[in-house]
Amino acid sequence: MAQHEIVFQLRNELSELETLRTKIEEFKTGTDIPEKTILEINLILDELFTNIVSCGFRDMDEHWVEIAISRKGEMLTLCVRDDGVPFNPSAIAALDTSCAVDERRIGGIGIHLVKHLSDEMIYRRTETSNIIILKKKISTTQAKDKNKRRI
What pLDDT score does 105 carry? 52
Domain range holding 64? 4-150
Q: Which has more confidence, 143 or 13?
A: 13
Q: What is the CATH number of the domain that holds 105?
A: 3.30.565.10
27-79 pLDDT, tens digit each: 999 889 999 999 999 999 999 999 999 999 999 999 999 999 999 999 999 99
Distance set, CA 101 to CA 94, 96, 98 (Å): 15, 9, 9
What pLDDT score does 48 carry? 97
Segment (H or E) for 115: helix 109-117
Nearest Cα to Cα of residue 89 among 143, 39, 59, 49: 49
User: Domains in the chain: how many in total?
Assistant: 1
Burial degree of 117 (CB within 10 A; 0-12, 13-18, 19+): middle
d(CA 2, CA 86): 34
92-132 pLDDT, tens digit each: 876 656 656 555 455 557 888 999 999 999 999 999 999 99
Single pTM value for the model: 0.83
Region 133-149: mean pLDDT is 67
